[in-house]
A and B are shown apart, each in its own frame.
Chain A
Amino acid sequence: MGKKIGIYPGCCFQGADVHNYDILVAFLKNMDLEEVLLDRSACCGGGVIDETNKLIVYGLNARNIALAEEAGVDLYTPCNTCYMIIAKTKLALDSDPKLKEKINEILAEEGLEYKGTATIYHTLNLIRDFIGLEEYKSKLKRKIEGVKVAPYYGCHVLAPNEVALDDPENPTLLKEILEPLGVEIVDGYKNEYTCCGYHASYTNPQQKEQLAVKPLEGAKEAGADLVATPCPLCHKAMDGHDEPIIQVLQLINVACGMTPEEALFHYNKTPVNLAL
């Protein structure tokens, strides 16, 4: 078994979206990483608990990080939003000793302590910094050829700037992760960086629908067969339209030798067909 990594299972890895957890576990296995499931972790707040109180969001996520630190591992989540909110919390606590002290006082109720030692990973920086791009490439067993893929980052890995995982003005990391899979990259398309609208799903569903199709249509216009996103929420918002979209982890799992069925392609609403 390889290196240990703490898995933070946000809402998009349980209940209605439990298949995303299976996709994640398969990816870890393919990358020879050992999963340490943070099974007492709680919802990051999703930007909604902020509507109750920001301190609660800091507390919840300091606790999530503290659980990883207690287990002696870093924290990894493939969800853009979970990543952004947890990383924002880490920034806030690491730069404000008073806040950290206050939160730690409350965390002591559960015998936990936020130290600030764990790194927060998302798929993008996990592959770049934790696994390493060369090591990542060495795990790939076959090329997925004959398919034009449009990378779609989603918002929360590029903004706000303080937690961005790549140069927001010229990101290349997703391309560097997708290219070794053998696919042809189509980038620079219209609405490449337009939000998927997921977070308006309940507050204004019409708004969500207007936005979700824009990157898909832009990618298709530019000649892409498929859009690939690292974020399960973006995927959820954009899947089910005319143009197919897939999660980056699913594509990686196929390149690591799994069949599309094993990579759970059948849970995608819009069928994704790869000529393997």
Chain B
Amino acid sequence: MKKIKYIARIKRYNPDTKESYWQDFPVEVEDSLTVLELLMYIKDKIDGSLTFRAFCRSAICGSCAMVINGRAGLSCKIQAKDKIRNGVIRIEPLHHLPVVKDLVVDQEPAFDKFKKIKPYLVPDPKKVPDSLNSESLVTPEEFKLYDKQTDCILCMACYGSCNALEGEEKYLGPFQLTKAFRFIADSRDGVDIEERIKLVEDHGIWDCVQCQMCLAACPKGIKPAEDILELRRIAKDSGEDNPGTRRAKHWFADVFATGQIDKWHLPENAFGDEVGKEMTKQLEEEFRARGLKEEEFGPQPFDGIEQFQKFLKRLVKEAE
């Protein structure tokens, strides 16, 4: 077995002294270690006080998520040698959760948010028989809609790398919203879609900044940011009226009309209030100050727009 030398740079936290600091552990170890095995090696051979949470070592229990080189993931699923950058691996606890000790975070605040979305199936009596003698049928097509999302192991890697939480700590979080989508998509669920959507409105789907970090973090290949777009679509289709749903409607109408969005009118169209109107007016003044003609304020249809509109109509039809 080949041995390699590098530095494990680990963010420590001592709850007794409330001291947080980076500590370098120079190691010479086999090149086949996972990050978790590296941590176990350090705990065993160098510093017994190093604290981390782990259990199954098989990427299924979801205990060992942490931030490695700035990206969250499961330490048991990641090869240490792939993570060496300039001779160093940086390991720190998940972000946005209180640190208990070293790499162990308190998951409760994220679970408290999770509970808000009703993360369980409420059987629809029309779909789920109350007798055990008959089955509750789900077709493969129905299951395909949320198959991937059922793989979530609640490891919180997405939560620990979420940018929306950086700006708004009340934000529900990515895995919470993925689960909300999963139950809305489940044909056996008896909760009204409108009710489920209401559960994800407050500091939920509209706080997401679509940075895509949750896609990069998920050890199961789930795409919470894309599920959030689905939830926004469902909110729009179920009649929700807010800046987000109005933005989506105008966006599509603008693209249909000219091929491009009209940023000039977007504020008044999306916000639909005095603030929005004022923003659109301000833009107008800016354009005039720049010497732009009115036809240059917003997009104009390109040559051949009718052809494009035919294409788009057909695309929408196919998409339905």
Contact = CB atoms under 8 A, between A and B. Distances in A.
19 contacts: A11-B299, A15-B264, A15-B298, A18-B292, A39-B302, A43-B254, A51-B232, A52-B319, A56-B315, A63-B311, A110-B310, A160-B212, A160-B215, A160-B223, A193-B70, A194-B166, A204-B168, A207-B167, A210-B166
Contacts of A214: 166-167
A170 B263 CA distance: 35
B58 interface: no
Interface of B is mostly: helix
Interface in B164-178: 164, 166-168
Interface in A29-61: 39-43, 45-56, 59-60
Interface stretch (B16-24, B110-118, B126-134, B244-252): B244-252
Interface in B274-320: 283, 286-287, 290, 292, 296-299, 302-304, 307-308, 310-312, 314-316, 318-320
A102 B263 contact: no
Contacts of A56: 312, 315-316, 319
Contact of B263 (A17, A41, A208): A17
Interface string B211-242: 11101100000010010010011001000000
Contacts, number: 194
Which range contains the number of A residues in contact with the other chain?
Answer: 35 or more
Given A11-B261, A156-B212, A159-B211, 8 more contacts: A43-B259, A46-B251, A48-B251, A59-B311, A60-B315, A106-B314, A169-B68, A200-B164
Nearest to A9: B260
Task: State which size class the interface on B falls in.
Answer: 35 or more
B266 A52 contact: no
Contact of B262 (A15, A55, A206): A15
A176 to B, nearest CB: 15
A14 interface: yes
A155 interface: yes
Interface of B: 68-71, 83, 85-86, 163-164, 166-168, 206-213, 215-216, 223, 226, 229, 232-233, 236, 243-244, 247-248, 251-252, 254-255, 259-264, 266-267, 270-271, 283, 286-287, 290, 292, 296-299, 302-304, 307-308, 310-312, 314-316, 318-320
Given A40-B302, A211-B166, A51 B316 contact: no
Given A169-B71, A204-B207, A159 B212 contact: yes
Given A159-B211, A169-B69, A207 B168 contact: yes
A199 interface: yes
Nearest to B251: A48
A71 to B, nearest CB: 14
A75 to B, nearest CB: 16
B248 A51 contact: yes
A264 to B, nearest CB: 11
A59 B315 contact: yes
B216 A161 contact: yes
Contacts of A49: 248, 251-252, 255
A161 B161 CA distance: 14
B215 A169 contact: no
Interface in A174-219: 191, 193-195, 197-200, 202-204, 206-208, 210-211, 214
Nearest to B307: A110
